[in-house]
Structure formats: structure tokens, C-alpha cells
Structure 1
Amino acid sequence: MRLTLKLKLIAVFSVLVLALIGVAAFGILELRDYNLQVSRITEVYTPAQGLLLNADRDAQQALVAERSLLTLAPGSEEFDAQLASHGENVEQISERMEKYAALVDADWSRGMMEQFWPEFAAWTEASGTLVQDLSSAVTDQQQQALASRSISDLNATFDAMRDVIDSLDEELEGVINQEALEAAASYQSGRSLLTVLAAGASVVGIAGAAWLTVTISRGLSQAMAVSQRVAGGDLTETAVVRGRDEVADLLTSQNEMILKLRAIVTEVSGGAGQVSSGS
């Protein structure tokens, strides 16, 4: 195959373009992985953690409302306000935990949520029964009995429910930290590899340019040297032809010219010698 200068240029630039495409493709893949990890943190785990914290706050507020009912007269405005607050907070706990379960669909989370719902149901049933009994309590003795039940029996179910929420939050915090570490590692690894690949592409481009420069300049320098010798009348040397490109064609043409000039000089010298002998 005849490797012309045009083909050499196409080959060098093709290799350079492919190297740059490879660098860009690798960079896109690394950025995609990094973005996925960051997206999981910002769009899944952080909102889920916020839901857990708010659910825990709602539980505390429901407990405060429940204890406040023990000190208020049934039917009063303050009693009705705390009763509404208790129901609202219980409902919000359920809604937030359902949203959390929809966001974090991991095995460890599903297992802990299976523990949460029975504990939540036990607490809401016990607390709801207590609140209902408080609404109908009319004597101090009845309220004291209900207060004792709230402190003894309901504390256990309330703490069991909150323990599950706290465990979920701790586990999720560990997942967030792990994701953050993996995202940082992916970023560092991708940046290092991209730097290496970019440097490799630069080396390929420089090497290709140097190869073309040497190939062309060496042949042209040799052609210039031959032309200068011919101009000075030296027809004894010809150029060394390497390759099969346009520069090689130029050197071959010069060599043919030198051989023809030698033949002409030899012929002229022979004719001049014969003329001298005839004289």
C-alpha cells in the first residue's frame, strides 16, 4: 500500500480524534456515576432523613398533647385544641413514614419498617383509647388513673415506636456517609484517570506531529542538499530514497535527473574528446 502524506495526515488525526473521543466518553461515564451517587443523596436519602426527623418531632408533639390533656378539663377550649393537635400529629407520623418507605426501598429499610408499623399501631391504639377515656373522665380519681396508665403502659409502646424511628435514622445516616465517601472516591478516581487519558492523547498528538515533521523535513533536507550539489556541478551522489510517499517520489525524480545529467555530461565529454583527436 502506498502511504502518501495525505494518508499519514489522516492516520495521525484519526488516532488523535479517537483518543479525544475516548477521553470524552470515559469522562461522561464517570460523571454519570458521580451524578447518580450525588442524586441519591440529595433526592432520596436527605429528604428521607428529613421525613424521619419530622416524624420523630410529630411523635414528641403527640406525646406532649396527650400529657397536656391529663391536666385539662374535658370540653374546654384548651382540651379540644390539644385533642386536635394529638390527632393531627398521629396522622402526620403515618403520612411521613409512608413517604419515607416509598423513598427508601432497600432491604434493610423494608425490614425495619416491618417492625415499625406494628409498634406504631400498638401505640396509636393505646394512645387513642387513653384520649377517648380522658374525654369522658369526670372525676379526679379517673384522671389520676388515666395519668398513671399514660406514664406506665403508654411509655413502653411510645418508646418502642420511637426506637425504630431512631434506628432508621442512624442506619440512613450511615448510608448517606457511605454514599458521600463513594461519590468522593469516584470523583477523585475519574479526575485522575481523565488526567492520564488526556496526557496520553496529548502524547499521541505530539508523537504523530513529530513523526510527520521528521518524515517530511528529512526528505526535503536531503532533496535540498542534492539540489545544491547538482547546482555546484557535483553529479557523483544520489539521494537515499525511503518510503513511498510524495517526498520519496521527489527524491526518485532527482536521482533520475542526476543519472540523465551524468549521461549527458559523459556523452558531451566523449564528443569533445573525439573533436580534439580529429584536430
Structure 2
Amino acid sequence: MLQRFSIGARLALAFALIVLLLLAAVGVGIRGLSQVKTTAVETLEVDTAIALNASRVQRLALQLRRYEKDAFINLRDAEKVAEYHDKWRGAREHLAGTLEAGIDLAPTPELGELYRKAEEALDKYAAGFDDTYRRLLSGDFATTIAANRAFSAHKAAVYDLKDTANAIGERAEAQMVDAETSIVDRHRSALTGLLVFAGLALAMAVALSLSITRSIVRPLSQALAVTERVAKGDLSETIEVEGRDETARLLGALRQMTDSLGSLVASIRQTGAAVHRSAEEIARGGQDLAARTEQQASALQQSAASMEEITSSVSQNAQSTREADGLAESATTQARDSRDSVTRSVSLIQAVVADAGRMDTIIATIDTIAFQTNILALNASVEAARAGEKGRGFAVVATEVRALASRSADAASEIRQLLEGTRRQLGECARQVEQSGVSMTETTHSIERLGEEVMRIGAATREQSDGLAQIGTAVAELDSTTQQNAGLVQATNASAATLETQAAELAERVARFRVAAQHEAHGEQKASTPTHADTPPTNAHHTRRATPA
């Protein structure tokens, strides 16, 4: 019946029932504790208060008697008598208040009646003591004995007060005993209820746990037996499934698993032989491919060596071309510098020629000044001759000036001749320098064109070197790939041998399984379907070799 429900539902139901029982037990315990608490509170608030009140009544009654005796003993000392009377009055008032409080606290009419009797006895005792005290103040008593004898008429009230106080104390003590008994009874009742509900909860928990455990363990034991048979290779037994819980689903899954494993084992038996045959074909094709791969690797090694020699020669040509390019660039730079120097020389010569023209102007100015100075000297000589003896000194000066003017004119003429010669030479020099500048410009252009050609040759050489390097790298990679292919072919041969061995082992191991007849038929049908094992091995090896290249 329980197998109709899931394990989670069963466990939830069991836990819910246990929780309900525990809650009921907790409720019973709480109720009992509440009752015990109520009884204890009543004991503390009523019975304890009554006990305290009764003890206070007894104590105050004794104080009244003591103050009474002290007043009688000290009857000759008026001050002490008055003092003890005041104390007696205070104790009496305190006792009267305590009795009133006791009446209010009394839980039973009998105890209240005792308090009222105590009040009546106190009133009678107080009236007798007041009468005796007035007589004592009047001097009616000479001795303490006389006072006691006079007060003996009121001793009945004193004894009534004492007896009533004792009765109140006894009654309060009885109330405390009853309260203790009530607390013990309430505690026993609460404990009994709690134990009963706890026992019921434990009994139901045990019953539910046994039932649920049996409903879970039995199918699990069946599933364990199935898995043990499967582990031993027995897939022929049919698994019966009952119920709809998790264990039933587990058994159903195990049944599906055994069916699937049976079909799989049967299929593996049929395909094992095909795998063994394919492994033999792969091994033969791998041996042929290994031989061809070794031949290809040898040819690639020779090609790689030749490419290395060609690459080295092209690299040397590229290095020489780079050096020639550098020399051509240096020569171009020097030619440009020489052309610039010639251009600056031509400019300087032209500036000198221009300055020579200005010097002609200056020399012409000097000739004009010399000519005018000579005329002035002649005029001065004429004037000095006219002056006679007085103008002789001025004539001498005029002669010297005329001589200086003549020498200046001669010097200016010589300078003009020299400048004419220099101008001709500078013009010739300027023409020669201009021709040199034109030649330098043509030379510079030729060197630049030569540098450009060398640069193009260097670029082409570098491109050839790069191309050859790439070809060498490709050949090296092709060689490495071929070597790897050779290694892969060897690994394939080893794998084929291993596959052949493993196929034999697989067939031997699968033979240990026992499967049903329908699984055998299914495996034969599945094995008849073409698989990758039926593909010729040689094509697979060719594909593997072509992919890395």
C-alpha cells in the first residue's frame, strides 16, 4: 500500500505525524507547567503572605506583653513608663493593621473568623491595659506585683489573643503544607501526561519507521541483486516492477538498462569481428603509406638543403646591394654638398665683381677731386705770384698740393688698371665656376639616378631574399610535416596493432555476458548496418597525410 506513494510523501507524512504528537506532548507539558506555575503563584501570593502575617501577629503579641511587663517593672520611673506605653501603643496599632490585612488575605472563612477573634481579644486586652495604665499613673500601685495583680482581671483577653495568634500560625502552616501537596500533584499530573504522549509518539515513530524502512529497503535489495547479476555479466533475467514510488522507477530504469546493455553487448559481439578485420587492413595500408612517406621525407630534405644554399647566396647579394646603396647615398650627399659650395662661390665672385664696379665709381670720384685740387693749386699759385713776396709761402703750399693731386691722379689711374685686370679675371673665374656648377649638378643627377637604381636592385634583392626565406620556411615546414606524418603513420601502425589486440580482448570479454535471444537478433541486425570500420583504410591514411600538408 505504501508503495503507491513516493518516498518523499511517505517520509513527509511520518514526520508530520511525529511532529503533531510532539506538539501535543509539548501542549500537555505546557499546560501542566502552567498549572504548576499558577499553584506556585497562589502559594507565594496567598499562603506565604498568610504565613508571614501570622508570624507577624505572634511577634507583635509578644512585643505587647513585653512592653506591658517593662511598664509595670519601671512603674516608679514615670518617663520609662510613658516610653514603654508609647511603644506598646505603636505595637498595638501595628498589630491591629496586621490583623486587618490578615482578614483581607484570608482564603477561607474559618481563617477570617480567627482574625476577627484576634481583633476582639486585642480590643479587650487593650481596654484592660489602658485601665491599668491609668490607675498606675494615679499611683494606685506601689509595687509591680500589685500592678500585675490588678491586671490579672484582664488576663483572659491576653490568653485569647495569644491562643488566637497561635491558631492563625497553625492554620497558615497547614495552608503551606496543602499548597506544597497541590504543587506536587500538579507536577505529577503534567509529567504523567507528557510521558504518555511521548510514549505514544515514540511508538508511532517506531511503527512508521519500520513500515517505511521495509517499503524502501525491500525494493533496494531487489535492485542491488539486479546490479550484482549485471556486474557478473548476467543480462538474461527479467526484472518485475511493482508500485509507483522512486524505488519502482529505479527498478524500471534498471530493467531498461539491462535491456540496453543486452542489445549493446550483442551488437559489440557482432561488430568486434568487423573491427578486427578493419584493423588488419589499416595495418597493411599503414605500412605502404610509411614507405611512401619516408621517400617523400628524403626528397624534401634534399630540397631543403638546396634552398638553404640559394638563400645564402641571395642573402650575400642583398648585403652587397645594401652596402652599394649606402655608398651611392653617401656619394649623392657629397655631390649635393659640392654643388652647394660651387653655388656659394659663384655668388661670392658676383658680389666681388659688383664691389669692383663700385670701386670704379670711387676712383672716378678721386680723379675728379685730384683734377679740381690741381686747378685750385694753379689758381693759388697765380694768386701767390700776384702777391709777390707775401705770397711766397702760399705758393710753396700750392705747389705741394698740386704735386699731391698729380700723384693721386696717377695712383687712381693705376688702381683703375688693376681693377680692370681683376674684373676680367673675376669674370673668367665666374664663368669657370658656373661651368663647374653645371657639371656638378649633372654629376649629382647621375649619382642620384645611380642611387635609385641601386635602391631598386636592393629592394628586388631583398624581395627575392624574403621570398626564398619563405620558400625555405615552407620547405622546412613541409619537411617537418612530412616527418610528423611519418611519425603519425608509425603511430597509426602501432595503434592498428593495438586495436587488433584490443578487438580480440573485447570479443573475449563480451563473450562472458549472457543475453536474451531477442538481444542477439537485435545485435545481428544492428551489426549489419555499414559503419566507419567498413571504409577502406588506405583512403583514411591518404586523407590524414594530405591534411597537415
Q: TM-score of the superposition, structure 2-length normalised? A: 0.43
Q: Indicate if the aligned counterparts of 2:68 and 2:84 stay in contact, CA closer than 8 A.
A: yes
Once the two structures are superposed, residues 237-262 of structure 1 have per-residue CA deviations (whole angstroms, 9 ceiling, x without a partner) of: 43251x43222233355567779989
Matched with 2:510 is none
Give the Cα–Cα distance (whole angstroms) in 2 for the partners of residues 53 and 154 of structure 1. Answer: 24
Give the Cα–Cα distance (whole angstroms) in 2 for the partners of residues 224 and 85 of structure 1. Answer: 97
Q: Indicate if the aligned counterparts of 2:54 and 2:169 stay in contact, CA closer than 8 A.
A: yes
Distance of aligned partners of 1:73 and 1:251 in 2 relative to their CA distance in 1, 3 Å threshold: same
The one-letter code sitting in structure 2 at the alignment partner of 1:59 is: A
Matched with 2:170 is 170
**Deviation (angstroms), 1:90:** 0.5
Q: Indicate if the aligned counterparts of 2:235 and 2:259 stay in contact, CA closer than 8 A.
A: no
Task: Choose between structure 1 and 2 for higher RCO, CA contacts under 8 A separated by at least 6 residues.
Answer: 1
Matched with 1:148 is 149
**Deviation (angstroms), 1:269:** 5.1
**Deviation (angstroms), 1:8:** 1.0
Matched with 2:415 is none
2:187 aligned with 1:187, yes or no?
yes
Q: Indicate if the aligned counterparts of 1:27 and 1:190 stay in contact, CA closer than 8 A.
A: yes
Q: Indicate if the aligned counterparts of 1:55 and 1:96 stay in contact, CA closer than 8 A.
A: yes
**Deviation (angstroms), 1:82:** 0.9
SS at match of 2:139: coil
What percent identity do the matched residue pairs reach? 20
Distance of aligned partners of 1:56 and 1:36 in 2 relative to their CA distance in 1, 3 Å threshold: same
Give the Cα–Cα distance (whole angstroms) in 1 for the partners of residues 63 and 39 of structure 2. Answer: 35
Instruction: Give the number of the structure whose alpha-carbon radius of gyration is greater.
Output: 2
2:139 aligned with 1:138, yes or no?
yes
Matched with 1:98 is 100
Q: Indicate if the aligned counterparts of 2:99 and 2:118 stay in contact, CA closer than 8 A.
A: no
How many corresponding residue pairs? Answer: 267
Give the Cα–Cα distance (whole angstroms) in 1 for the partners of residues 191 and 67 of structure 2. Answer: 54
Q: Indicate if the aligned counterparts of 1:74 and 1:134 stay in contact, CA closer than 8 A.
A: no
Distance of aligned partners of 1:111 and 1:255 in 2 relative to their CA distance in 1, 3 Å threshold: farther
Q: Aligned runs of 1:218-257 on 2, under 5 Å?
A: 218-229=218-229, 231-235=233-237, 237-239=238-240, 241=242, 243-252=243-252
**Deviation (angstroms), 1:154:** 1.3
- Counterpart pick for 1:59 among 58, 61, 72: 61
Give the Cα–Cα distance (whole angstroms) in 2 for the partners of residues 27 and 201 of structure 1. Answer: 14
Give the Cα–Cα distance (whole angstroms) in 1 for the partners of residues 518 and 168 of structure 2. Answer: 103
Distance of aligned partners of 1:73 and 1:225 in 2 relative to their CA distance in 1, 3 Å threshold: closer
Distance of aligned partners of 1:270 and 1:244 in 2 relative to their CA distance in 1, 3 Å threshold: closer
**Deviation (angstroms), 1:68:** 3.1
Q: Indicate if the aligned counterparts of 2:75 and 2:136 stay in contact, CA closer than 8 A.
A: no
Give the Cα–Cα distance (whole angstroms) in 2 for the partners of residues 144 and 17 of structure 1. Answer: 82
**Deviation (angstroms), 1:167:** 1.5
Distance of aligned partners of 1:144 and 1:226 in 2 relative to their CA distance in 1, 3 Å threshold: closer
Give the Cα–Cα distance (whole angstroms) in 2 for the partners of residues 108 and 187 of structure 1. Answer: 29
Q: Compare 186-195 and 23-32 and name the one that shifted more.
A: 186-195
Distance of aligned partners of 1:257 and 1:165 in 2 relative to their CA distance in 1, 3 Å threshold: same
Matched with 2:11 is 9
Matched with 2:124 is 122
Distance of aligned partners of 1:191 and 1:245 in 2 relative to their CA distance in 1, 3 Å threshold: same
Distance of aligned partners of 1:174 and 1:144 in 2 relative to their CA distance in 1, 3 Å threshold: closer
SS at match of 1:70: helix
* Structure 2: runs of 5+ lacking an equivalent: 264-515, 525-549
Give the Cα–Cα distance (whole angstroms) in 2 for the partners of residues 245 and 11 of structure 1. Answer: 15
Q: Indicate if the aligned counterparts of 1:73 and 1:79 stay in contact, CA closer than 8 A.
A: yes
Give the Cα–Cα distance (whole angstroms) in 2 for the partners of residues 140 and 119 of structure 1. Answer: 25
Q: Indicate if the aligned counterparts of 2:47 and 2:172 stay in contact, CA closer than 8 A.
A: yes
Distance of aligned partners of 1:270 and 1:247 in 2 relative to their CA distance in 1, 3 Å threshold: closer
Distance of aligned partners of 1:218 and 1:115 in 2 relative to their CA distance in 1, 3 Å threshold: same
Give the Cα–Cα distance (whole angstroms) in 1 for the partners of residues 78 and 143 of structure 2. Answer: 17
The one-letter code sitting in structure 2 at the alignment partner of 1:70 is: F
Matched with 1:215 is 215
The one-letter code sitting in structure 2 at the alignment partner of 1:80 is: A
Give the Cα–Cα distance (whole angstroms) in 2 for the partners of residues 8 and 91 of structure 1. Answer: 76
Q: Indicate if the aligned counterparts of 2:57 and 2:99 stay in contact, CA closer than 8 A.
A: yes
Give the Cα–Cα distance (whole angstroms) in 2 for the partners of residues 122 and 258 of structure 1. Answer: 110
**Deviation (angstroms), 1:141:** 6.5
**Deviation (angstroms), 1:111:** 3.0
Matched with 2:341 is none
Give the Cα–Cα distance (whole angstroms) in 2 for the partners of residues 105 and 76 of structure 1. Answer: 45
Q: Aligned runs of 1:19-98 on 2, under 5 Å?
A: 19-73=21-75, 76-98=78-100
Give the Cα–Cα distance (whole angstroms) in 1 for the partners of residues 188 and 177 of structure 2. Answer: 17
**Deviation (angstroms), 1:11:** 0.8
**Deviation (angstroms), 1:227:** 4.5
Q: Indicate if the aligned counterparts of 1:223 and 1:239 stay in contact, CA closer than 8 A.
A: no
Give the Cα–Cα distance (whole angstroms) in 1 for the partners of residues 114 and 81 of structure 2. Answer: 35
Distance of aligned partners of 1:270 and 1:33 in 2 relative to their CA distance in 1, 3 Å threshold: closer
SS at match of 2:65: helix
Give the Cα–Cα distance (whole angstroms) in 2 for the partners of residues 38 and 104 of structure 1. Answer: 17
Q: Indicate if the aligned counterparts of 1:66 and 1:131 stay in contact, CA closer than 8 A.
A: no
Give the Cα–Cα distance (whole angstroms) in 1 for the partners of residues 220 and 150 of structure 2. Answer: 104
RMSD of aligned alpha carbons: 3.4
The one-letter code sitting in structure 2 at the alignment partner of 1:148 is: R
Distance of aligned partners of 1:270 and 1:22 in 2 relative to their CA distance in 1, 3 Å threshold: closer
Q: Indicate if the aligned counterparts of 1:8 and 1:212 stay in contact, CA closer than 8 A.
A: yes
Once the two structures are superposed, residues 188-243 of structure 1 have per-residue CA deviations (whole angstroms, 9 ceiling, x without a partner) of: 443344344334433433443333332222112212323444650323x43251x4
Q: Indicate if the aligned counterparts of 1:69 and 1:134 stay in contact, CA closer than 8 A.
A: no
